[in-house]
A and B are shown apart, each in its own frame.
Chain A
Amino acid sequence: MSQVRVPTPLRGYVAGQTEVEVTSANVAGALQELVKRYPALRPHLFGEAGELRPYINLFVNDQDVRSLHGEQTPLTDGDRLMILPSIAGGAMPPGLRGVDHNALRANQGSIIALLLIAFVLDAPGLAAGVGAVMLLGTLAGKIGFLPVYRSLRRLRLAAPDILQDNPEPHRFAQGLGAVVLLGGAAAFVAGAPALGWGLVWLVIGLASLNLFGGFCAGCAVYYWFNRLGLPGFSQAPPPGAFPGRRPQPPVE
C-alpha cells in the first residue's frame, strides 16, 4: 500500500482528500488507479495524448521520478507518491532581455560627437580610434563607450531606459560600424581621404538615424540575416516591432 499526495488545486477532484491510498507497484500504475477511481481528475493530470500535463511534477518520497525511473519507478509499501504542481513562469518570450536603450544612446552620441570632431580637426586617427573602441567593445560583448554612460549615470545625468529587446543585433550593428570605420582608416592609409571621410560620414549618418530616428540599420541587417536563416543570427525581432525599429515600451 502506498499513498498518493494530492496538491491543493486537485483535491476538489478527489473528494477533498489530501492523500489517497493505492495498491499499484509503480508510479504509472498508481496514476492510472487514481484517475480510474476519480475520472474528473484525468484531464488535470494528463493531456489528450496521455502525456503528463506540463505543470505536474512527480516525486517518490523526496526524489523526482525523472532522476529515478520516470513513471516506471517502483512503489513499495509505505512509499509516498507526491503530485506537485510546477510553480513556474516568467515575463518574456525566449531571447528577449531588458536592454538599456539609454546606454545605446550614450554610445551613439559619443560616436557621432567624436567622429564630427575628427572631421573638423581633420584627424583620421581619431576616427580610427573610435572604430577600434567599437570593435573592442563588440569583441568583449559590450557597448564600446559604456564608460561614458556609466559616468553620466554616476553624475545622475542619465537614467536607464530599459526595453524588452535583443542585445545581439545592437552588438552586431556596433561591429558593422567598427568595420566601416576601420575600412575608412584603410582608405586614409591607401591615400584615398575622400573615401575615408565618406565612410566616416556614413557611420555618423547611421548613428544619427538610430539616435534621433529610433532606427538601427545594423539591427535591421541582423534581422534580415536571421530571416535568411544564417548561422549565428538566432534572434528574431521583438513581437510587433519592425526589424531595426526601437521596440515600444510595454503597454498596459
Chain B
Amino acid sequence: MTLHISEVHLRAIEAYAEAHYPEEGAGLILGDEVGERREAREILPLPNRREAGERGRRYEIDPLETLAAEDQADALGLKIIGVFHSHPDHPAAPSQTDLHFAVPWYSYLITSVRSGRAHESRAWRLDESEAGMQEEELEVRPGSGRLTGAPDRSVASGAQQEEG
C-alpha cells in the first residue's frame, strides 16, 4: 500500500503541526483508493477537543466532526482515507495510545515536530492482526492541492510548555 500525497498538502499538514506546537494538531485526509494506490485529495484540519493540559500529548476529534467530514467526502465523491496528527518532540511513529485507538483501514500520517519545526512525516496503518501498525510507503509528488476551509477552534489555545 502506498499513500500518495501532493507536496502542497504535506507542507500544509506540516505547517498546521508547527502552528499547534507544543500541542498536537490533527485532521482528516480525504481521498480515493484504487487497488493498492491511495491518493490524498483534500486535507481537513479539525479541532483537537482534548482538554488544554492534555493537548500536548493527546488528540481527539469530535465524532460529529467526523460525521460531517464523511458527508463532505460523499458530496465530493471521496472517502476519509486517513488521519493526520502531530507528535511534538516525539518521533513520527505510532505510540501505544495511537495503536489503542487505531481504526482498521485508515492511513495514519504522523508528523514529528521538534522545537516547533516539522521534522519528518511518516504514514502507518493498523495491521490485519490489529496488534501493531505497519509503515506504509508515503509518496510525495510535486503539484497542486488546496486546503479545505474548516473552522479550527484550537489554533489559539496557547498551552504553555512545561518549564521545570
Chain A interface residues (CB < 8 Å from chain B) = 5, 7-10, 12, 18, 44, 54-55, 57, 59, 62, 64, 82, 84-93, 96-100, 103-104, 107, 142-143, 146, 149, 159-160, 162-164, 167, 170-171, 174, 250-252
Whole-angstrom distance between the Cβ of B66 and the nearest chain A Cβ: 5
Cross-chain contact of A87 among B66, B89, B112 (Cβ < 8 A):
B66
SS of B interface (majority): mixed
User: Beyond A7-B70, A171-B164, is A87–B104 a contact (Cβ under 8 Å)?
Assistant: no
Q: Which range holds the interface residue count of chain B? A: 35 or more
Which among A62, A85, A159, A163 has the greatest number of chain B C-beta atoms within 10 A?
A85
User: A90 and B163: CB pair below 8 A?
Assistant: no
CB atoms of B73 and A8 under 8 A apart: yes
**B contact residues around A84 at 8 Å (CB):** 63-64, 66-67
Chain B minimum-CB-distance residue to A58: B63
Is A9's CB under 8 angstroms from B88's CB? no
CA separation between A80 and B91, bound complex, in Å? 40
Task: Return chain B residues, CB-CB under 8 Å to A100.
Answer: 161-164
Q: Provide the residues of chain A in CB contact with B67, threshold 8 Å.
A: 5, 59, 82, 84
Residues on the A chain within 8 Å of B73, using CB: 8
A89 touches B162 (CB 8 A): no
Q: Given the complex of chains A and B, what is the CA–CA distance between A114 and B117 in angstroms?
A: 35
- Among A55, A82, A98, point to the contact of B56 (Cβ < 8 A): A98
